[in-house]
Amino acid sequence: MKIAIVCYPTFGGSGVVATELGIALAERGHEIHFVTYRQPVRLEFLNSNIHFHEVHVPEYPLFRYQPYELALSSKLVDTIKLYDIELLHVHYAIPHAYAGYMAKKMLKEDSIYIPMITTLHGTDITLVGNHPFYKSAVTFSINKSDVVTSVSEDLKQKTLEMFDVKKPVEVIPNFIDIKKYSNDYTDCQRSLMAKDEEKIITHISNFREVKRIPDVIKIFYKIQEQMPAKLIMVGEGPEKEHAELMCEELDIVDKVVFLGNSNEIDRILCFSDIFLLPSETESFGLAALEAMINKVAVISSNTGGIPEVNQDGITGFLSDVGNVEEMAKNALYLLKDETLLNTFKENARTVASKFDILNILPLYETVYEKAYNSRYKNSY
């Protein structure tokens, strides 16, 4: 099929999922067209099956806010017509589903019927979408999507609770491309990061408030009080400066490494012992899944969709949001017992394997076919 994918191109779960999905679909022979304002970070190459169309928003002094939705819907109409695109898949409802619906309506004027799949990723429902200033438009664009998918059962329930949704919501979990992780790195270069006796704790995120970055530092502080350890912080975002300041105040600067954004997270995870994800809310926790496939045990909060990924007492431990005491205790319990830690690491890999893209991709393909076959009965 010829599919247009709309996503955020930045580091962040929804963009990563959309990009990896597009790449995998292209490998299976579909023609994929990414439509967004910058080339997605995980999209390293373009070929005859993978195209990228940049949305430009011309600046005009009259506008206090530049109209991205308008530019996106126009770009979608032009791209869909030019490449005979058959299906539109938008990731993250705001404002993509809204712009996608406008594109659908414009195309209908030319008797082009394009089905739109909207994948809900989390904060588009739980944090941003639920805001009274956006809620009516988000509800409308969800209901005007031809198929709505959510990345976890928990997110589906939250969507149904928070919005007046008239469409069925199908759960298609996030995934991992296991073949990319089939060769164990032998060049882990652990010694570059830590001394032999030091345990390595890792956190990867976009450093937004919802990730509870201060909890990451607090948990690590308690760990390093009891054993030699290093904390690797990967990512960029608004909470990073505060985190660096906290490390100075706690006098642990020499034990914490801030690496910034990275396209090589598997190389970092390869030498990690524990992954910390104490988020306030998390629809799925893709970062935890990426850690698990790299055989890293996960200490996380028990919020949102995380329990659908990290299994308590098997792949790691889950605690109530903010319970840093318990999270540190659980981390130390694993770190102090090498055999137990190794069992959890192996379990993490086994559980993560169930989310292999080969199991998940056909679920999207089925949804695409269904939507395409009923394109003349689309929601308008």
- List residues near ligand GMT by CB under 6 A: 12-15, 17, 92, 121-123, 151, 174, 206, 208, 210, 281-286
The smaller minimum CB distance to ligand GMT, of residues 15 and 114, is found at 15
CB of 90 to ligand GMT, least distance (A): 12
> Distance (Å, rounded) from C-alpha 58 to C-alpha 31?
29
In angstroms, the first-to-last Cα distance of the chain is: 22
The smaller minimum CB distance to ligand GMT, of residues 31 and 308, is found at 308
CB of 65 to ligand GMT, least distance (A): 21
> Distance (Å, rounded) from C-alpha 352 to C-alpha 174?
11
> Distance (Å, rounded) from C-alpha 212 to C-alpha 308?
20
> Distance (Å, rounded) from C-alpha 360 to C-alpha 20?
12
The smaller minimum CB distance to ligand GMT, of residues 215 and 282, is found at 282
CB of 94 to ligand GMT, least distance (A): 10
The smaller minimum CB distance to ligand GMT, of residues 12 and 115, is found at 12
The smaller minimum CB distance to ligand GMT, of residues 123 and 294, is found at 123
- Stretch (H or E) spanning 116: strand 116-120
CB of 318 to ligand GMT, least distance (A): 14
The smaller minimum CB distance to ligand GMT, of residues 57 and 171, is found at 171
The smaller minimum CB distance to ligand GMT, of residues 19 and 224, is found at 19
CB of 12 to ligand GMT, least distance (A): 3
Q: Tell me the two tokens of residue 73.
A: 């819907």
The smaller minimum CB distance to ligand GMT, of residues 118 and 123, is found at 123
Q: Which amino acid is at 229?
A: A
Query: Which sign, positive or negative, has the C-alpha torsion 157, 158, 160, 161?
Result: positive
Give yes or no for a cis peptide into 115 (omega within 30° of 0).
no
CB of 308 to ligand GMT, least distance (A): 10
Q: Which value, to the nearest 10 degrees, does the dihedral of the CA atoms of residues 78, 86, 4, 309 take?
A: 160
CB of 214 to ligand GMT, least distance (A): 16
CB atoms within 10 A of CB 379: 14
CB of 151 to ligand GMT, least distance (A): 4
CB atoms within 10 A of CB 61: 5
Are 193 and 257 spatial neighbours (Cβ–Cβ below 8 Å)? yes
Residue with tokens 């939507």: 371
Could you say which DSSP state residue 355 is in?
T
The smaller minimum CB distance to ligand GMT, of residues 22 and 285, is found at 285
CB of 155 to ligand GMT, least distance (A): 8
> Distance (Å, rounded) from C-alpha 285 to C-alpha 251?
30
Q: Give me the phi and psi of 177, to 5 degrees please.
A: -90, 95
Partners of residue 54 on adjacent β-strands: 36
The DSSP line for 302-328 is: --TTGGGTSPBTTTEEEE-TT-HHHHH
